[in-house]
Structure 1
Amino acid sequence: MKIVKVEAIPFAIPYVKPLRFASGEVHTADHVLVRVHTDEGLVGTAEAPPRPYTYGETQESIVAVVDKIFAPQILGLTLLERESVHERLDRTVGNPTAKAAIDMALWDTLGQAAGMPVSGLLGGYTDRMRVSHMVGFASAEKMVAEAERVRGTYGVTTFKVKVGRRPYTEDVAACRALREALGDDVELYIDGNRGWTAPESARVLRELADLNLMFAEELCPADDVLGRRWLVERCPVPFIADESATRAGEVTRELLGGSATAISVKTARTGFTASQRVLHECEGLGVEVVMGNQIDGQVGTLCSVAFGSAHRHSARYAGELSNFLDMTDDLLTEPLTIENGTLRVREGAGLGIDIDPDKLARYRQDI
């Protein structure tokens, strides 16, 4: 079964409210729907969410690199020649979410061809994941209100708190307010998106020592090599590398260099193939992983839960699977639902992605 066409369709869906964090803010999901077509009529689907402030990609650049460079290189290859696909994609540096979307769309098509769910092909460990919800920048009162709403409505009991503003006032106050309001049975961890210095991060961790945080993520820049190592040595909880460890080689560098003790796996930037390599590397080194979120829509979230639920190591902790709740709409015919704090994989062959053609026509940006 051969690849005969690759589509990159730009679409834009507004968020209910801006999502704010230390490295940027997002008002609209300016994403790209990637589709891989085969000569037997099967179509695999995935989502590429550009994050220019993290990876340098834009919606326009993703469409251009898929249309002009990647698609011509992989046309004619079969679904089983995935290593050849990656060899050709890797001739072009960067463009992680464009490459990841092609990879996941190929897996979706392969699952359909085999009549099996992708989660089963990847490992089939479980059929659902616990959900972690990201709480973005706002006043402490609004952050608490959002967390209480999500817990009450969806049963979510794990929250990733965005920090990286003024560390000794706003951020500490928000974390303390969340712990006080939500109680000790809720899991909390913090993500600084590189917004603090190493000394600031160390002081905040000392001030929050009584809050029983689960993780600390990217509190200071990895480029501050000595400062980051100094901080990680003193961090009382696993220190997650996220945007500083976007592929297997960077994971090796951060872990062996002492700049991280845990890794965030994001299928939006490493697809399924490279995500497995990162996951297995972490398993071999005895390093914890969490399933991260690229502020994905529902298509991207389906991909994340399919991968995360497929493996014991990635299903251990709650995955960041709820950012689609902040979007005013989405593209799936049957929307995702979070129940009792969990999200299930879709049944059936492939990833179970069924795009509503009317919604796609309404939100696409190229017609």
Structure 2
Amino acid sequence: MKITGIESIPFSIPYRKPLRFASGEVHTAEHVLVRVHTDEGLTGTAEAPPRPYTYGETQESIVAVIDRVFAPKLLGLSPLERERVHERLDRTVGNPTAKAAVDMALWDILGRAAGQSVSGLLGGYTDRMRVSHMVGFAPAARMVAEAERIRDTYGITTFKVKVGRLPYTDDVEACRALRQALGPGVELYIDGNRGWSAAESSRALREMDDLGLTFAEELCPADDVLGRRWLVARSPIPFIADESATRAAEVTRELLGGSATAISVKTARTGFTASQRVLHQCEGLGVEIVMGNQIDGQLGTACSVAFGAAHRSSARRAGELSNFLDMTDDLLAEPLRIENGALRVPEGPGLGVRVDPEKLARYRQDR
């Protein structure tokens, strides 16, 4: 079986409300659908969600690098030749979500060819994951109302709270209101998206010490090397590296340098192949991982739950698998459903999902 073509299709679906956090805000899911075709008629599919304020990628750049750089290098290779594929992809620096989507589409092909789910091929640990929901910037009362609605509607009891505003007291107030409203049985952790300095982060953590937070994530910039090490050494809770640890070498740097004590794995950023390397690296070093989210649509979320449910260490914590709830529509023919606080891995070979051609025709941006 050989790769005969790679499509990159830009599409755009509005969000119900803007998603706001320290590094930016998102009003529309301007993503790229990636399809890899083979000479045996099998097609693998994945989603690339650009985040220009985090990785520098845009919808246009993803389409350009796949069409002009990656596709010519990969035609004629077998989907089984993953090391050769990554050798050729890695000759181009950056472009993490473009590379990840190609990788995951190839895994989708392998699963379909074998008649097995990708999650089973990766490890097959469980068939579902508990879900964590992201609560973005808003007045405290609105953040509480959203969290209560998500809890009551979907049974979700883990919330990732976006912080990083100045003054930081607004975020402390919001976290305190969430804890008071939701009670001790709900798990809360915070993500600063590099919005605070090390000193501001330290003060905020001290003021929230009684709230029982599970994690803190990327409170200050990775470039603040000494300040970040100082903060993590004094943090009363594990500190997650996310956008500072986008590949295995950066994971090593952050963990061994004392700048993090846990890692966020995002399949949208490292695909399945590199995500598995990061996961095994973390297992070897004895640090926890959390399945993160790139504000994925349902296709990207299906990839995240397939990977997270495949491994013991990634299935241990609730995964960030609910951002698609904020989208007005999606591309999948059969929508994902969160029930009793959990998301099941879609059944069927490969990723177990199918893109609705009518929805794709409605939302694609290249025609």
Q: Which residue of 2 aligns with 1:159?
A: 159
Q: Deviations over 1:39-85 (max 9, x none)?
A: 01001000000000000000000000000000000000001101000
Cα pair 2:169 2:204 within 8 Å, conserved = no
Within a 5 Å distance, the mapping from 1:18-167 to structure 2 comes to: 18-167=18-167
- 1:348: Cα distance to partner? 1.1
Distance of 1:60 and 1:352 partners within structure 2: 28
Q: How far, CA to CA, are the matches of 1:357 and 1:242 in structure 2?
A: 34
Aligned 1:190-339 pairs, distance under 5 A: 190-339=190-339
> Is contact 2:120–2:310 with CA below 8 Å preserved after alignment?
yes
Q: Deviations over 1:261-286 (max 9, x none)?
A: 00000000000000000000000000
Inter-partner Cα distance in structure 1 for 2:287 and 2:74: 34
Residue 104 of structure 1 aligns with an amino acid whose one-letter code is M
SS in 1 for 2:312: coil
> Following TM superposition, by how much is the alpha carbon of 1:100 offset from its aligned partner in structure 2, in angstroms?
0.0
Counterpart code for 1:36: V
Secondary structure of the structure 2 residue equivalent to 1:313? helix
Aligned residue identity for 2:72: P
- Contact 1:232-1:259 within 8 A present in 2 as well: yes
Summarize deviations over 1:90-132 as a string: whole Å, max 9, x none. Answer: 0000000000000000000000000000000000000000000
SS of 2:338's equivalent? coil
Which residue in the other structure is 1:366 paired with?
Answer: 366
Determine the C-alpha separation between the residues in 2 that align with 1:272 and 1:9. Answer: 21
SS state at 1:251 partner: helix
Q: Could you say what secondary structure the match of 2:314 adopts?
A: coil
Specify the code of the residue in structure 2 equivalent to 1:81.
E
Alpha carbons 2:46, 2:105 under 8 Å: kept: yes
TM-score relative to the length of structure 1: 1.00
Kindly indicate whether the alpha-carbon contact (under 8 Å) linking 1:167 and 1:196 is maintained by their aligned counterparts in 2.
Answer: no
Q: TM-score, normalised by structure 2?
A: 1.00
What secondary structure sits across from 1:50 in the alignment?
A: coil
In the alignment, residue 181 of structure 1 is paired with which amino acid?
A: A
Unmatched segments (≥5 aa) in structure 2: none
Q: Which one-letter code corresponds to 1:145 in the other structure?
A: A
Residue 352 of structure 1: aligned partner = 352
**Preserved contact between residue 262 and residue 287 of structure 1 (Cα < 8 Å):** yes
Distance of 1:347 and 1:327 partners within structure 2 = 23
Task: Report the 3-state secondary structure (helix = DSSP H, G, I; strand = E; otherwise coil) of the residue aligned with 2:339.
Answer: coil
Amino-acid identity (%): 83
1:167 Cα shift?
4.4
- The Cα shift of 1:166 comes to 2.1
Q: For the Cα contact (< 8 Å) 2:190–2:215, is it kept in 1?
A: yes
What is the SS of the residue equivalent to 2:352? coil
**What is the alpha-carbon root mean square deviation over aligned residues?**
0.5
Moved more, 163-172 or 333-342: 163-172
1:157-196 → structure 2 map (5 Å cutoff): 157-196=157-196
Task: State the SS of the aligned residue for 1:32.
Answer: strand
Deviation at 1:168, TM superposition (A): 3.7
Structure-2 separation of matches of 1:199 and 1:78: 51
Q: What is the rounded CA distance, in whole Å, between the counterparts of 1:20 and 1:213 in structure 2?
A: 21
Report the 3-state secondary structure (helix = DSSP H, G, I; strand = E; otherwise coil) of the residue aligned with 1:314: helix
Cα separation, 1, equivalents of 2:196 and 2:230: 14
Native 8 Å contact 1:167 1:204 kept in 2 = no
Helix, strand or coil for the counterpart of 2:188?
A: strand
Q: Quick one: distance in 2 between partners of 1:252 and 1:167?
A: 33
- Displacement of 1:169: 2.1
CA distance in 1, matches of 2:351, 2:168: 44
Q: Cα deviation per residue 1:277-334 (whole Å; 9 max; x = unaligned)?
A: 0000000000000000000000000000000000000000000000000000000001
SS at match of 1:60: helix
Q: Which amino acid aligns with 1:114?
A: A
Q: Distance in 2 between matches of 1:101 and 1:273?
A: 11
User: Quick one: distance in 2 between partners of 1:256 and 1:12?
Assistant: 40
